Structure 1
Amino acid sequence: MTTLRFAVDNMSCAGCAGRAERALAASPGVSEASVNIANHMAQVTGTASPETLRAALKRAGYPAREATHRLSIEGMTCASCTGRVERALEAMPGVLSANVNLATQTASVRVLDGAVNIDALAQTVTDAGYPAKAVDNDTQSEPPSEIEPLRRDTMIAAALTLPVFLTEMGGHLYPPLHHAIMGSIGMQSFWVLQFLLITLVLAWPGRRFFRIGLPLLAKGSPDMNSLVALGTLAAWSYSTIATFAPALLPDGTRAVYFEAAGVIVTLILAGRWMEARAKGRTGAAIRHLIGLRPDTVLLSRDGVFTEVPLSEISVGDEIKVLPGGRIAVDGVVIEGDSYVDELMITGEPVPVAKTTDDSVTGGTINGRKALIYRATAVGANTVLARIIDMVQTAQGAKLPIQALADKVVRIFVPVVLGIAAITVAIWLAFGPQPSLGYALVAGVAVLIIACPCAMGLATPTSIMVGTGRAAELGVLFRKGDALQRLDSAKVVAFDKTGTLTEGRPTLADQYTAPGCDAAEMLRLAAAVEQGSDHPIARAILSAAPTDLPDVTDSETIPGSGLIASVSGQTVLVGSEQHLLDHGVKTAPLKDSIARFAEKGQSLVCLARDGKALAVFAVADQIKPSARPAIDALHAAGLKVAMISGDNAAAANAIAHQLGIDHVTAGVRPDGKVDAIKTLRDQFGTVAFVGDGINDAPALAEADIGLAIGTGTDVAIEAADIVLSSGRVSGVVNAVDVSKHTMSNIRQNLFWAFAYNTALIPVAAGVLYPAFGILLSPMLGAGAMALSSVFVLTNALRLRKIAPVQEDLPTPRYTEAPA
């Protein structure tokens, strides 16, 4: 029986609290429940799981408030470590789920808010044998690097082991060396010297294996450190007995394996050192994002700009950024004009003009003129902080593809211990003499070569590098599992307006009757339209010159158009029916009207003094990047659909120009969900691309939702992926990163499983009867270390993913030098 206290949302009265309380009390395993409307807290006693309580409140309409805590963890070395930490966390009352990432040495824990604090989580992990501490989400700091300690320990182990290795192995390869050693100091002294050096190796740089591995072994939950500790301790113990108490060993079995113990520790430390260096490179994207924040800013105090630490900035403060300086926090320009490089936030290479009332984003780089801006968001509320949080969340995710590896790893180490024990028993029973020596070599080789490090690193390292590279390309994976789901997509459906098109009507075409000046007709239409706020009127006004003639007696006829007097002449502007209703014959415009209508364009006709003189075609222009993006999606083997609220003619015209396979037109916003369900039934897994606002239900319904946003619209809750560049090409890059990353994960998992499957039998000695081959534990240690390095190196190849579509080179700054 446990008692949980946690926060509950959506309650506004005592009746709400009562309903929430009854929902909790009716849940299986709940013996007592109470809900307090004053502090919005629930208290539940019983055996019900947090997930059961969460589901009960969700059904009742009063969801339990959730919180996510992040921990930095030390000492995890393999997949069995991460599994042990996850199980320890998930066993805590109030914890909904825990994801532990070996590559980042972090844990992301989702809890019922108020039920458990982060210090208790950290203490639980520490008690499990892995020192942990809370990560401050506001500072977004990184865990301390292990590179330098591992480098130091590797160098010490190598320095102590090298004399033993050279003299012992050198004596086998070059007999005169062996004879020289025996003739000078003798075998016993030589072995005592090896004992001293290798004991130092195990007690100093190698102590990490024993400090972690032996307590876990005693608890019945061995990990990779336990395997190394057992293997090296077995080789050292046997050799120590052979050196100081040979009478305890059977005749003919006296031999030492000090060099094997030393070399194993040295090679595994070297492998971990290389792993740490490679892991450091996998986190380059996060370090780059964190480094975008300046340490100090110029803050206005009593009208004087003073340099202060970034942490002192508050919302509303006025900040000055010098030419070439980095903008510290999100804000609005209040003085100055310049160009700002937003490449690191949006992935767009073209600097953006900024002037008074324009927004600026923290982390971007100012151009050649100073700006003064007012802070609108600081700390964890800035765009940059939210981007960092998105990338970290995605990097800490656990993909469905990892489930098999987790199941294997959970039983892997105990199985290896069993295989090692069976191997020793078989060699003792059936091996050649001295069988004890052969049994020791084979048993230690099995323990050392079977480390599941590569299995634990196979998925998280690829996710880290892949999502980090995606962020550099302006693709933000809000949910890590979207990587895998996007790889399985069969159809990509686009919202039309604002996604494939610019989202604002512009003048697309014009026909003018013979004998009329086209520019004059456009001026005349714009003059009449200037009093209207209709989007079509604004499109004509924006295309016309500014010197418009005076208009009098203007009248708006709803649904038809306008009628006005211009320079004493009667001018009609509006639909074809508007002209016909006023007795104007539209025959001179018929061909153009039909041609424009076939393209789905909106028509504006103009008549003066009873004569039809011009027709204007207004349309929402297709984004330049749309057609190349759709061609690239087709090349990737995907179907492309478009969902639009426009009429069929307009939607089909756009689809024809873009080469879209399937069109659903005339769909209201609430009908897009049904359209996606239809696409799923017809094609399979659906990815939907929208603007993230009115498309929120469709983004949530799709198997993968991609929101086309801007640098200031990255926190779109309904989407799985945010395209911060605001360009359709981001969809192609997202699909490409997904496919490359999933392919990389499959390669890594294959290598990790194949390596262990193939080499454990070899280490056990299956090749010895036929070929006389028995794998040395030292070679096993080297192969084990290299397997992890191979997985990491393979994952690092994802840093080289090039964008499928890039804009043409553009000058970095187009303003004149200051």
Structure 2
Amino acid sequence: MKKERFTVTGMTCSACSARVEQAVRKLAGTEEVSVNLLTNSLQLRYDEQQTNPAAIIAAVEAAGYGASVKGAKAEQPAPAEDPLQRHAAEMRSRLIWSVAFLLPTLYISMHGLFAQLFGLPVPALVRTVFDGPENAITFAFAQLLLVLPIMYLNRHYYIAGFRNLFHGAPNMDSLVGMGSMAAAAFGVFAIFRMSWGFGHGDLALVAAYGKNLYLESAGMIVTLITVGKYLEARAKGQTGQALEKLMRLAPQQATVVRGGKECVVPVEQLAVGDEVVVRPGERIPADGTVVSGETTLDESAITGEPMPALKRAGDRVTSGAMNQRGAIHFRAERVGEETTIRQIIRLVDEASASKAPIARMADKIAGVFVPAVILIALAASGIWLALGASVEFAFSIAICVLVISCPCSLGLATPVAIMVGTGKGAENGILIKSGEALETLASVDTVVMDKTGTITEGRPRITSVMPLGIPREELLAIAAGLEAGSEHPLAAAVLSVAAEEGVSSRAMTGFAAALGRGVEARADGHVYLAGNERLMAERGIGLAPVREKLDALAAAGATPLLFAADDRLIGLLGAADEPKATSREAIKRFHALGLSVVMLTGDNERTAEAMRARMGIERAIAGVLPEHKAAHVKELQAAGHRVAMIGDGINDAPALAQADVGIAIGAGTDIAIDSADAVLMKSDLLDAVNAVRLARAVLRNIKENLFWALIYNVVCIPLAAGVLYPALGVKLSPVIGAATMSLSSVCVVLNALRLRFFRPAHAAAEAGRRREAAEVIHNAKEKKEGSMMEKTLKIKGMMCAHCQQHVHDALSKMAGVTNVTVDLAGGSASVEATREIPQQEFAQVIADAGYELVG
């Protein structure tokens, strides 16, 4: 199945989008057809053996609309060529000219009423030319001549409206066009009747029709609708601002080193392996790894992380990030459409064009709405004629019903909210792939999360080494040899502790992995094992001698790594993976949202229980192999729960796919994970909380919009039909109907735009993150050399190069200080001064700079 997007032209309301969607669904081999009124797009999957783009375009055209394949350039238009903004500009020009012709029309038709109501003087020339039965034809023709340009400027309503009517698919344009054209036609008919009256000396007939021309209504209806459409277009233009900002992050050119020389090339010409040069003030044009240089990057627009990131040789860089300080050379590894920024743009664009399940209700209503309104208009006018009302009265009722009905608000209720919501998520590093995922996420009641790399840092460290019958160095050498070829986080911890103690790994061969249990290898005629209790039990190696030690490690929340030679245990290492600074706060917020939290881990029950208690989680499922995580998710679903699974997006792929909503966390440069419905650009569980909050806000907004759209039509259509006229004498005019209809659509769009004020809840966790990141070992020393003083200060709270500079500047300004060196990595500062400076003075200066002196 191939996924394709098309641009659809000519749609104006939800009846249009429903008709296009219905026409395409009828084609064999099409699936997941979604038509978005807001973005004028069609998105679907189709079997290339059964249909093709030409057939899809033909189906859309047969329905009365235009279509074309949305190519790469159309998918990512330059902000200056944004179609929504261009449409708003065109609408503004049309509106200005319409108002220019409408104002004199209104003055001519209503100058007498203005004089009565507001005491406005009427020039003698106006009275001479337009007042009195003798001037009735002049009065009518003047209005007709002024209304015709208005109708021409807004001819779209008539052309598209009647075309769709004749195709058997009337839409909002049909209602507006019919109402305005009927008013104009009645005015022309009135001119003929007045001409007849003059020719036959029937001045009473002339006077009667001279007061019921409806010509100003013909111009007023389309002008007021255009006012609403212009305001709507402006508001809709704002919905795409997040996408526009993302587009601006993608550089158009890059500086590369080829043949030993620097040259500037379009980003489309970048190739994998190119050496790219990025200087201060430039954006990273591709994903890659720093080869040389050092700088700080502002990645906030990509990840939502406000703190600049320090980058040195070997560090990864992400496309779209802004280079702040130094110049770097990096090797391009992902270019073109594979870069992070391009994938983000594509995901946000596709999500904004998708449809939430709740939109199906609006589509079903829209499919019958316009025909029903036309029937109501005809029935209402017929009933009033049967009750003895005048033709003019019944005619006014029909026009009012036609123009007050608003299918636009139904069509805009969901796509505007989804576009704003997904755009707002992207601004904060939360990528939600579709409207369906957004709606489902809002309704989950259970959150299942992996432990390693999700709740914890995913970088365990060895906290204890317990050899059994062999020297410590030998145990570490064997452990390092077994883990040398593994990419598992625990292997990295083992290799790290061996390197720290200066132990070389023992060379081994014949590696064999036991998935989820450990590894086996051979050296010096022995078979060595490294793994968990399950592996040792399978090999018949008893653990009774170390049971107390295993229990103690588990109670402390550490994971035991067992090592055996042949059939005997030779030692164990304890590894602890510390929770992320924000994990506990995130879990607390999940509970506040009414969600149950379940932790899945491959650790033993005691280790899992220690982490569960520490994090405040209701339930922990221990000893879970990667391939069994999906089964546990399925069990929860079978029990009636709607489940969101949070994992790293790779090992947890089956569980992510099984869950109602899969959330990939910590996948900053691998954002196109097919198994996940949402991707968090940072390894921060608080973003998962914000994703749920955002989804609920969007769904609530959609329901508000649909309620407004439905209640508006339920109340206004009967009023327009005159149900209150017999009892209260209340009757809406066509002009008021048109104004009310425009207001309805504008209100729906403005309500959706409130989502732009959504703010992520990170404030409470930021302090914890800073404390966790800035933990240091207390160690200070003082030394005097004559009148000079040298002091090393341990400072808590420095996180980036900016912090380093702030501390340097603050200390340098102290009286007597002659030299300051700040070590960001070590969390310390060395100060030389010509006087003895008390510790309290240092503490005050550091505190004033926003940090803490701890030694």
Instruction: With the length of structure 1 as denominator, give the TM-score of the two structures.
Output: 0.80
Give the Cα–Cα distance (whole angstroms) in 2 for the partners of residues 553 and 222 of structure 1. Answer: 79
Over the matched positions of the two proteins, sequence identity in percent amounts to 39
Give the Cα–Cα distance (whole angstroms) in 2 for the partners of residues 314 and 714 of structure 1. Answer: 20
Aligned counterpart in structure 1 of residue 663 of structure 2, from 706, 720, 739 = 706
Partner of 1:105: 40
Give the Cα–Cα distance (whole angstroms) in 2 for the partners of residues 709 and 551 of structure 1. Answer: 32
Aligned counterpart in structure 2 of residue 163 of structure 1, from 81, 94, 104 = 104
Aligned counterpart in structure 2 of residue 246 of structure 1, from 190, 194, 202 = 194
Partner of 1:118: 53
Q: In the TM superposition, what is the alpha-carbon distance from 1:813 to its structure 2 partner?
A: 4.2
CA contact (8 A) 1:217 1:226 kept: yes
What amino acid is the match of 1:493? V
Shift of the 812–491 alpha-carbon distance from structure 1 to 2, 3 Å rule, reads farther
CA contact (8 A) 2:2 2:48 kept: yes
Give the Cα–Cα distance (whole angstroms) in 2 for the partners of residues 749 and 477 of structure 1. Answer: 22
The answer on 1:503 being equivalent to 2:448 is no
Partner of 2:700: 743
Partner of 2:71: 136
Aligned counterpart in structure 2 of residue 210 of structure 1, from 155, 158, 171 = 158
* Paired residue secondary structure (1:502): coil
Unaligned runs of 5+ in 2: 198-203, 512-517, 521-529, 537-543, 564-570, 771-798, 809-855
CA contact (8 A) 1:687 1:704 kept: yes
The answer on 1:193 being equivalent to 2:136 is no
Give the Cα–Cα distance (whole angstroms) in 2 for the partners of residues 507 and 190 of structure 1. Answer: 95
User: Which stretch has the larger CA shift, 527-536 or 92-101?
Assistant: 527-536
User: Which stretch has the larger CA shift, 212-221 or 272-281?
Assistant: 212-221
User: Which stretch has the larger CA shift, 802-811 or 497-506?
Assistant: 802-811
User: Which stretch has the larger CA shift, 267-276 or 121-130?
Assistant: 121-130
Give the Cα–Cα distance (whole angstroms) in 2 for the partners of residues 388 and 507 of structure 1. Answer: 41
CA shift digits 1:524-569 (9 cap, x unpaired): 99799776748668647757995x578999999x9999xxxxxxxx
Give the Cα–Cα distance (whole angstroms) in 1 for the partners of residues 236 and 755 of structure 2. Answer: 13
Q: In the TM superposition, what is the alpha-carbon distance from 1:509 to its structure 2 partner?
A: 7.8
Give the Cα–Cα distance (whole angstroms) in 2 for the partners of residues 394 and 560 of structure 1. Answer: 43
Give the Cα–Cα distance (whole angstroms) in 1 for the partners of residues 642 and 480 of structure 2. Answer: 47
What amino acid is the match of 1:70? R
Give the Cα–Cα distance (whole angstroms) in 1 for the partners of residues 403 and 505 of structure 2. Answer: 93
Give the Cα–Cα distance (whole angstroms) in 2 for the partners of residues 524 and 110 of structure 1. Answer: 59
Residues 600-615 of structure 1 aligned to structure 2 (within 5 Å): 600-602=557-559
The answer on 1:445 being equivalent to 2:390 is no
CA contact (8 A) 1:522 1:540 kept: no
Shift of the 522–717 alpha-carbon distance from structure 1 to 2, 3 Å rule, reads same
Give the Cα–Cα distance (whole angstroms) in 2 for the partners of residues 663 and 683 of structure 1. Answer: 19
Partner of 1:182: 127
User: Which stretch has the larger CA shift, 114-123 or 388-397?
Assistant: 114-123
Partner of 2:3: 68
Residues 65-464 of structure 1 aligned to structure 2 (within 5 Å): 66-113=1-48, 115-137=50-72, 140-142=75-77, 144=83, 145-175=86-116, 180=124, 181-185=126-130, 186-203=135-152, 205-246=153-194, 251=205, 252-254=208-210, 255-432=212-389, 435-464=390-419
Give the Cα–Cα distance (whole angstroms) in 2 for the partners of residues 319 and 496 of structure 1. Answer: 37
CA contact (8 A) 1:346 1:710 kept: no
Q: In the TM superposition, what is the alpha-carbon distance from 1:504 to its structure 2 partner?
A: 2.7
Give the Cα–Cα distance (whole angstroms) in 1 for the partners of residues 39 and 239 of structure 2. Answer: 9
Shift of the 552–759 alpha-carbon distance from structure 1 to 2, 3 Å rule, reads closer
The answer on 1:628 being equivalent to 2:628 is no
Give the Cα–Cα distance (whole angstroms) in 1 for the partners of residues 293 and 683 of structure 2. Answer: 26
Q: In the TM superposition, what is the alpha-carbon distance from 1:470 to its structure 2 partner?
A: 0.9
Give the Cα–Cα distance (whole angstroms) in 2 for the partners of residues 711 and 93 of structure 1. Answer: 38
What amino acid is the match of 2:194? P
User: Which stretch has the larger CA shift, 122-131 or 263-272?
Assistant: 122-131
Partner of 2:735: 778
Shift of the 604–466 alpha-carbon distance from structure 1 to 2, 3 Å rule, reads closer
CA contact (8 A) 2:14 2:408 kept: yes
CA contact (8 A) 1:97 1:109 kept: yes
Shift of the 509–747 alpha-carbon distance from structure 1 to 2, 3 Å rule, reads farther
Q: In the TM superposition, what is the alpha-carbon distance from 1:88 to its structure 2 partner?
A: 2.4
Residues 669-748 of structure 1 aligned to structure 2 (within 5 Å): 669-682=626-639, 684-748=641-705
What amino acid is the match of 2:717? I
* Paired residue secondary structure (1:778): helix
CA contact (8 A) 1:167 1:178 kept: no
User: Which stretch has the larger CA shift, 594-603 or 78-87?
Assistant: 594-603
Give the Cα–Cα distance (whole angstroms) in 1 for the partners of residues 502 and 345 of structure 2. Answer: 54
Partner of 2:442: 487
Q: In the TM superposition, what is the alpha-carbon distance from 1:109 to its structure 2 partner?
A: 2.5
Give the Cα–Cα distance (whole angstroms) in 2 for the partners of residues 603 and 116 of structure 1. Answer: 57
Give the Cα–Cα distance (whole angstroms) in 2 for the partners of residues 781 and 340 of structure 1. Answer: 53
The answer on 1:649 being equivalent to 2:606 is yes
CA shift digits 1:730-750 (9 cap, x unpaired): 210110011000000000000
Aligned counterpart in structure 2 of residue 465 of structure 1, from 415, 420, 423 = 420
Q: In the TM superposition, what is the alpha-carbon distance from 1:330 to its structure 2 partner?
A: 2.1
Shift of the 709–530 alpha-carbon distance from structure 1 to 2, 3 Å rule, reads closer
What amino acid is the match of 2:324? G
Shift of the 323–792 alpha-carbon distance from structure 1 to 2, 3 Å rule, reads same
* Paired residue secondary structure (1:174): helix
CA contact (8 A) 1:135 1:141 kept: no
Instruction: With the length of structure 2 as denominator, give the TM-score of the two structures.
Output: 0.77
Q: In the TM superposition, what is the alpha-carbon distance from 1:758 to its structure 2 partner?
A: 0.5
Give the Cα–Cα distance (whole angstroms) in 1 for the partners of residues 183 and 508 of structure 2. Answer: 100
What amino acid is the match of 1:88? A
Partner of 1:565: none
Shift of the 152–553 alpha-carbon distance from structure 1 to 2, 3 Å rule, reads closer
* Paired residue secondary structure (1:107): strand
Q: In the TM superposition, what is the alpha-carbon distance from 1:411 to its structure 2 partner?
A: 0.5
Q: In the TM superposition, what is the alpha-carbon distance from 1:335 to its structure 2 partner?
A: 2.7
User: Which stretch has the larger CA shift, 376-385 or 632-641?
Assistant: 376-385
Give the Cα–Cα distance (whole angstroms) in 1 for the partners of residues 270 and 498 of structure 2. Answer: 46
Shift of the 574–72 alpha-carbon distance from structure 1 to 2, 3 Å rule, reads closer
What amino acid is the match of 1:344? A
Q: In the TM superposition, what is the alpha-carbon distance from 1:409 to its structure 2 partner?
A: 0.6
Shift of the 479–764 alpha-carbon distance from structure 1 to 2, 3 Å rule, reads same
CA contact (8 A) 1:491 1:683 kept: no
Give the Cα–Cα distance (whole angstroms) in 2 for the partners of residues 796 and 466 of structure 1. Answer: 9
CA contact (8 A) 1:705 1:718 kept: yes
CA shift digits 1:42-65 (9 cap, x unpaired): xxxxxxxxxxxxxxxxxxxxxxxx
What amino acid is the match of 2:708? W
Give the Cα–Cα distance (whole angstroms) in 1 for the partners of residues 238 and 695 of structure 2. Answer: 20
* Paired residue secondary structure (2:713): helix
Unaligned runs of 5+ in 1: 1-65, 512-520, 562-572, 579-585, 607-613
User: Which stretch has the larger CA shift, 265-274 or 289-298?
Assistant: 289-298
Q: In the TM superposition, what is the alpha-carbon distance from 1:500 to its structure 2 partner?
A: 0.9
The answer on 1:753 being equivalent to 2:710 is yes
Give the Cα–Cα distance (whole angstroms) in 2 for the partners of residues 279 and 650 of structure 1. Answer: 52
Partner of 1:41: none
CA shift digits 1:366-411 (9 cap, x unpaired): 2311122232232222222222221122112221111111111101
Shift of the 229–590 alpha-carbon distance from structure 1 to 2, 3 Å rule, reads closer
Give the Cα–Cα distance (whole angstroms) in 1 for the partners of residues 412 and 75 of structure 2. Answer: 23
CA contact (8 A) 1:713 1:724 kept: no
Q: In the TM superposition, what is the alpha-carbon distance from 1:264 to its structure 2 partner?
A: 1.0
Give the Cα–Cα distance (whole angstroms) in 2 for the partners of residues 188 and 310 of structure 1. Answer: 67
* Paired residue secondary structure (1:492): strand
CA RMSD, 1 decimal: 3.5
CA contact (8 A) 2:648 2:667 kept: no
Give the Cα–Cα distance (whole angstroms) in 2 for the partners of residues 321 and 560 of structure 1. Answer: 43
Give the Cα–Cα distance (whole angstroms) in 2 for the partners of residues 444 and 661 of structure 1. Answer: 62
